[in-house]
């Protein structure tokens, strides 16, 4: 029984086969999804924010975020739904990072790459300097013996 685990949500022991949570928590999660889905399908609720959905359905915010992140609630159909950026917490509708965090990381990586290239060029220059010095020192030794 190598697939026995404790449910991360409730702590119950269960056989971990297809899902990372126990059957009871899965059923509760699906019931919560149905509540949110039914609420959002009503025409007057399609523009509801995450907070409004949470207040009206009493489903935890984390679960609503998970439903959007997993694509079960499409942000294209419900434009005010989203989930927090993994880095800064800004509400986003796709991916894991907002555009500002992506740009920041990209900028940091480019800066790191430039620094790495600079260090490599500096090492190469030092190598060339040492090579030239070594060549001249050997040349001067040979000239002394003649």
Model pLDDT, residue 115: 94
Q: Say if residue 115 is in the same domain as residue 62.
A: no
**Considering its fold, how many domains does the chain have in total?**
2
Residue 93 DSSP class: S
List the one residue out of 79, 93, 82, 70 whose CA is nearest residue 46.
Answer: 79
72 and 135 housed in the same domain: no
Confidence bin at 146 (pLDDT 50/70/90): low
Work out the pLDDT band at 25, boundaries 50, 70, 90.
Answer: very high
| Residue-number span of the structural domain to which 49 is assigned | 1-97
Judged by average pLDDT, the poorest of 83-87, 102-106, 117-121, 134-138 is 134-138
**109 and 92, same structural domain?**
no
- Describe the crossing of helices 61-69 and 50-57 by its angle, rounded to 10 degrees: 120
Do 33 and 93 have their domain in common?
Answer: yes
Which residues have CB under 8 Å from 67's CB, separation 6+? 33, 36, 73
Task: Please indicate, yes or no, whether residues 109 and 74 belong to a single structural domain of this protein.
Answer: no
Residue 28, beta-bridge partner list? none
Is residue 92 located within the same domain as residue 118?
no
CB 30 within 8 A of CB 15: no
Residue 21 has pLDDT above 70, yes or no: yes
Specify whether 39 is located in the same domain as 81.
Answer: yes
Whether residue 66 sits in one domain with residue 4:
yes
Query: Do 34 and 93 fall within a single domain?
Result: yes
Distance CA(47)–CA(76), nearest Å, equals 11
What is the distance between the alpha carbons of residues 139 and 16, in angstroms, rounded to a whole number? Answer: 75
The pLDDT value recorded for residue 23 is: 92
Least confident range from 8-17, 18-27, 44-53, 75-84: namely 75-84
| Residues of the chain by 3-state class (helix, strand, coil), percent to 5 | 60, 5, 35
pLDDT value of residue 76: 78
- Give the tens place of pLDDT for each residue, 64-87: 999 988 888 887 788 888 888 999
- pLDDT greater than 70 at residue 143: no
Taking only the tens place, the pLDDT of each residue in 45-64 is 889 988 999 999 999 999 99
Q: CA angle at residue 102 from 99 to 106, to 5 degrees?
A: 140
């Amino acid at each position: 029984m190598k697939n026995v685990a404790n449910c991360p949500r409730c702590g119950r022991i269960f056989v971990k086969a297809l899902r990372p949570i126990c059957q009871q928590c899965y059923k509760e999660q699906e019931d919560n999804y149905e509540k949110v889905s039914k609420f959002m399908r009503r025409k007057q609720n399609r523009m509801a924010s995450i907070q409004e959905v949470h207040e009206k359905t009493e489903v935890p915010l984390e679960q609503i975020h998970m439903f959007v992140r997993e694509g079960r609630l499409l942000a294209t159909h419900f434009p005010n739904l989203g989930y927090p950026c993994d880095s800064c917490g800004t509400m986003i509708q796709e991916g894991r990072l907002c555009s500002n965090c992506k740009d920041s990381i990209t900028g940091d990586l480019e800066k790191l790459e430039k620094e790495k290239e600079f260090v490599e060029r500096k090492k190469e220059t030092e190598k060339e300097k040492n090579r030239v010095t070594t060549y001249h020192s050997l040349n001067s030794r040979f000239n002394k013996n003649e």
